[in-house]
Structure 1
Amino acid sequence: MGLAVCVALLFTAACSANSTRESTGSAPTATTPSASPALRTIDPAALQAAVDETTSELLVPGAMVVLRTPQGDFTSVTGTTLRGAESPPSADTYFRIASNTKTMTAAVIVLLAQEGKLRFTDPVSRYVPGVPNGENITIAELLTMRSGLYNYTDAPELAATLDADPTKAWTPQEVLAIAFRHPPDFPPGTEFAYCNTNYALLGLVAEKIDGTSLARIFQERLFGPQRLHQVMLPAIDSTSIPDPYSHGYMYGGSAFALSDFPYPPAMQAAARAGTLEPIDYTNQNPSYATAAGGAIATATDLATWIRALVEGRVFSADHQRQWLDSAQPEDPTKPDGQQYGYGISRQRFGPTASMYYHGGELPGFNSFIGHDPDNNVTLVIWTNLTLSLDGDHTANVLLLKVLDQIYPGLALAPPAAPTPTTR
């Protein structure tokens, strides 16, 4: 499941975008200072054209791009939050952020370590009983996706239940029971594999130590101190999103997002012909993803959050360094490739361009949040169509087009098989 979309950016064919379609987005708030050598001078019209063209090609109903650079703040909007209506998104439109929630769950764990309430080397069995091989799986291995535990969102029975009963309220124990019925994928610490089971466990660790709900922990430890008023973790029985919000759409059943199954050719043809409409997944209960991907937010607050996280406003100096240094190559044979650490990815995609980032995907929504501390660039993208008919993660495709507007000399192409956020 796309609870966490990994964005491996490859140096192949350069991305470019030109469009004659009329923009439906808003103008930037500032454009006057010239770009640094590492950045292009942002052209608002070209940025908007790239967003319009890309979303049109992908059949995305609506999308939002929030870009903050030393040149100013830029907002590109396209489409609608509700199919069949003229309801353009805004930077303050709520949407389901999916695996971007992991940046928050990991931040809580780092804060608990900072306070001496846990150690990254602690076994998970110290806090959560019944975890297979839990005495040999550390908190750090959960954070960095190296536990080897089976990923519960890969289980066919989860997708089947979601489609049969989309409002079902899930407890962490229920989704962990699904994971624990399957054998581990590899011994702890020996490989990387994106796994939502890890973060379901980390949510329970946080609740065990702080003695309260994860929603309250987020509010007291993160959202309040960082003045984030448009981020929340909904109650287990909640299927609603605060106004103003975007609906979220996807073709076919939940398994296409949860397990990354390709769309059959007949389904693709019917959708392109207009005889198959996407399903509205807005009110599917996200409690199966709570600590791994259940939060709701706006692009405005996510931009504030990812910058605060990367620039050191959440942790002490020592634990900020540990958090930054936690990012290690997902593939040891590709030391310059995508890295994953304590709830954060890092990738260098040009000589002067790199970002700490995360992605988010679940039925109905796809998103990206990132910050480049070297060039003071913050970027948030969300779309309200999970996957294109070709199986591409829509926010990832849009990301590549937007990066080409920000940095000179990039040659970017999406990976053949990106790792979904919900998986």
Structure 2
Amino acid sequence: MVSRAVAALATAALLVLAACAAQPAAPPPPAPDLPAYAETLQPELEGLARDMLVTGAVVQVRSPELGDWTTTIGTRTFRGTEPVRAEDHVRIGSVTKTWTGTVVLQLVDEGLLRLDDPVAKYRPDVPNGSNITIEQLLTMRSGLGNYTTSPELSATTDSAPWTVFAPEELIAVGLAMPPQFPPGTGFYYSNTNTALLGRIVEQLTGNPLETEIQRRVLDRLGMAESSFPATTSAALPDPHPQGYSYGTNVETVDSNVLSPEKQAAARDGTLAPLDMTNTNPSWAWAAGAGISTTGDLTRYVEALVGGGLLSPALQEARLDSVRPVDPAAPDGPGYGLALARFGPFYGHTGELPGFNTFAGYDPQRRTTVVVWTSLAPSPDGRDPAAEMARTIIGELYRSGS
């Protein structure tokens, strides 16, 4: 579930790259219009997809130095024949957090709130809210519990996937949980933070969150194939793949790793994956209900990191806000104002049952990598898009070294 996107952050820590002592053997001559790195990556990514039992995947790379490349792997349905396409729509999970966070920061730019405002100014119901700031909600350092770790929530999404959750229901679950630590003293990835931010946006603007995201982010960047659906909608626009998971939400609430028996059954083909496509994403709301395509995500992450959505000063502050998730691992993944960092790449990962996404941009090399998969997680617990992104970035930086 989206609650375990912190696990995706840990996986994506592998994106911190070191120069290879030995260069790989030269690949065969590429096709005239294909970047050289693609010749190496295509079979590697296909092998990864097979190993992780990924049904379908799309990759898009933009590199002014090495050339652009888009490729597709697999099919739109389990054991199907219709290939996935670059224009397919998918659920982007926690990449949505950057949409919500961007809207919040735009309101800061407009003087409607301040990063150092206590959350109690807007939500008196938040325990210890006078000591929790808007900034700490954005940076995942509030200490508030994470509503998506609730076993009851997972059980409901399994037994009644059409359920429409109201944002206030989700927030109430999170606020009833014991805090992880005093505000500002640690990092804990909690969707309760983002749900609170979404409701504060609605309070300050008088509009539904979907209206503000549409107006302030999607329309502004011309992201015509992206949307933040109303809580009542479980629809995924056509064209789209089906999204699959081998485990239920209850089975994976604490860990994405399935039992050895289930992993073996998935690999030998006696266990078919569950189709999660039409599960209503209202349970993820501001933290993970967004829908997009590779093309739109590429455009978006370049603006998210490179600028164009915030004032120059606040954009710089957003990038500078990123700090290591684990202070003992300064070269590991970082998190800031609704923005993650994986090595030289800024962006975010996203996971909902059935879909995994990586969207990252390196502002120094002006390189973009976007990956989505229509299976998440893999039976052994890996985040497929993050694994594929690690492989892609490794090859890009070897090729460019």
Q: What TM-score do you get using the length of structure 1 for normalisation? A: 0.87
Amino acid at match of 1:374: Q
Q: 1:94 to 1:151 in 2, by over 3 A?
A: same
User: Shift of residue 333 of structure 1?
Assistant: 2.3
Match of 1:83 in 2: 78
Following the alignment from structure 2 to structure 1, what is the Cα–Cα distance between the partners of residues 23 and 165?
43
1:371 to 361, 364, 374: 361
Deviations 1:46-69 (A, max 9, x none): 221122111011110110101011
Match of 1:60 in 2: 54
User: Shift of residue 12 of structure 1?
Assistant: 8.9
Verify the 8 A CA contact 1:258 1:362 in the aligned structure 2.
Answer: no
Following the alignment from structure 1 to structure 2, what is the Cα–Cα distance between the partners of residues 28 and 68?
18
Match of 1:207 in 2: 202
Following the alignment from structure 2 to structure 1, what is the Cα–Cα distance between the partners of residues 38 and 393?
13
Verify the 8 A CA contact 1:81 1:245 in the aligned structure 2.
Answer: yes
Bigger drift between 136-145 and 336-345 goes to 336-345
User: Shift of residue 169 of structure 1?
Assistant: 0.3
Amino acid at match of 1:383: T
Q: 1:404 to 1:261 in 2, by over 3 A?
A: closer
Following the alignment from structure 1 to structure 2, what is the Cα–Cα distance between the partners of residues 387 and 227?
31
1:405 to 381, 395, 399: 395
Following the alignment from structure 2 to structure 1, what is the Cα–Cα distance between the partners of residues 321 and 277?
34
Verify the 8 A CA contact 2:244 2:354 in the aligned structure 1.
Answer: yes
Match of 1:178 in 2: 173
Following the alignment from structure 1 to structure 2, what is the Cα–Cα distance between the partners of residues 17 and 128?
56
Residue 387, structure 1, aligned to residue 377, structure 2: yes
User: Shift of residue 28 of structure 1?
Assistant: 9.4
Verify the 8 A CA contact 1:78 1:88 in the aligned structure 2.
Answer: yes
Following the alignment from structure 1 to structure 2, what is the Cα–Cα distance between the partners of residues 79 and 16?
30
Q: 1:238 to 1:270 in 2, by over 3 A?
A: same
Following the alignment from structure 1 to structure 2, what is the Cα–Cα distance between the partners of residues 346 and 157?
32
Match of 1:8 in 2: 13
The gaps in structure 1 that reach 5 residues or longer are 19-26, 32-40, 349-353, 411-423
User: Shift of residue 29 of structure 1?
Assistant: 10
Verify the 8 A CA contact 1:47 1:76 in the aligned structure 2.
Answer: no
Amino acid at match of 2:103: V
Verify the 8 A CA contact 1:2 1:257 in the aligned structure 2.
Answer: no
2:258 to 263, 286, 296: 263
Verify the 8 A CA contact 2:304 2:347 in the aligned structure 1.
Answer: no
Verify the 8 A CA contact 2:58 2:70 in the aligned structure 1.
Answer: yes
User: Shift of residue 261 of structure 1?
Assistant: 4.3
- Output aligned runs, 1:11-410, within 5 Å: 31=34, 42-70=36-64, 71-348=66-343, 354-408=344-398
Following the alignment from structure 1 to structure 2, what is the Cα–Cα distance between the partners of residues 344 and 122?
20
Verify the 8 A CA contact 1:52 1:78 in the aligned structure 2.
Answer: yes
Deviations 1:205-225 (A, max 9, x none): 111111101110011111111
Q: 1:123 to 1:409 in 2, by over 3 A?
A: same
Following the alignment from structure 1 to structure 2, what is the Cα–Cα distance between the partners of residues 253 and 61?
17
Q: 1:189 to 1:322 in 2, by over 3 A?
A: same
Following the alignment from structure 1 to structure 2, what is the Cα–Cα distance between the partners of residues 126 and 29?
60
More helix by share: 2
Following the alignment from structure 2 to structure 1, what is the Cα–Cα distance between the partners of residues 19 and 317?
35
Q: 1:385 to 1:28 in 2, by over 3 A?
A: farther
User: Shift of residue 126 of structure 1?
Assistant: 1.3
Following the alignment from structure 1 to structure 2, what is the Cα–Cα distance between the partners of residues 142 and 28?
48
Following the alignment from structure 1 to structure 2, what is the Cα–Cα distance between the partners of residues 375 and 229?
27
Verify the 8 A CA contact 1:50 1:402 in the aligned structure 2.
Answer: no
What is the root-mean-square deviation in Å for CA atoms of aligned residues? 2.3
How many residues are matched?
Answer: 388
Match of 1:35 in 2: none
Q: What TM-score do you get using the length of structure 2 for normalisation? A: 0.92
Deviations 1:225-258 (A, max 9, x none): 1111111011111111000011100012113454
User: Shift of residue 124 of structure 1?
Assistant: 1.1
Following the alignment from structure 1 to structure 2, what is the Cα–Cα distance between the partners of residues 305 and 189?
29
Following the alignment from structure 2 to structure 1, what is the Cα–Cα distance between the partners of residues 61 and 284?
28
The gaps in structure 2 that reach 5 residues or longer are none
SS of the aligned residue for 2:224 comes to coil
Amino acid at match of 1:166: P
Following the alignment from structure 2 to structure 1, what is the Cα–Cα distance between the partners of residues 230 and 31?
35
Following the alignment from structure 2 to structure 1, what is the Cα–Cα distance between the partners of residues 399 and 217?
37
Amino acid at match of 1:188: P
Following the alignment from structure 1 to structure 2, what is the Cα–Cα distance between the partners of residues 28 and 270?
39
Deviations 1:352-408 (A, max 9, x none): xx1102100111011100000111101100011102221111112111211122111
Following the alignment from structure 1 to structure 2, what is the Cα–Cα distance between the partners of residues 335 and 384?
32
SS of the aligned residue for 1:162 comes to helix
Following the alignment from structure 1 to structure 2, what is the Cα–Cα distance between the partners of residues 182 and 76?
43
Following the alignment from structure 2 to structure 1, what is the Cα–Cα distance between the partners of residues 238 and 24?
33
Following the alignment from structure 1 to structure 2, what is the Cα–Cα distance between the partners of residues 176 and 167?
19
Following the alignment from structure 2 to structure 1, what is the Cα–Cα distance between the partners of residues 157 and 31?
40
